Amino acid sequence: MTAPAPALQAERTVLAWRRTLPAVCLCLAALVRAALVHPHIAHVGAVAGVCVAAASVVAGAVARHRRYRRRADDPRPLGLLIPAAVSVAILATAGAALAALA
């Protein structure tokens, strides 16, 4: 069995970033709707967290896409800043959303 081409891994990563962005935008839309229907101060934190997550996903998608277009077999990861920002934003959003439900 032969190993897959290294460019396929980079292409799958670019496609994954592209799929993640619509999911984050749908979460943002759902939280904005919830904030409009049932106003609560915690919704502000949740919406802010999803906005940070969306901006981080856009930054990751753009960075990965540019690197893939320059050199498809570039194995370097994106670094820790973008995934850390997405993780922190998701945790902040979850905390704020749970506070709004309580």
Give the tens place of pLDDT for each residue, 50-74.
888 888 888 888 887 788 788 777 6
Domain ranges across the chain: 7-101
- What pLDDT shows up at residue 31? 83
**CA Rg, the chain, in Å?**
17
d(CA 39, CA 67): 42
Under a CB-based contact definition with an 8 Å cutoff, are residues 52 and 89 in contact?
A: yes
pLDDT value at residue 3: 60
Give the per-residue pLDDT at 47: 84
* Low-confidence spans in the chain with pLDDT less than 50: none
pLDDT the model gives residue 2? 64
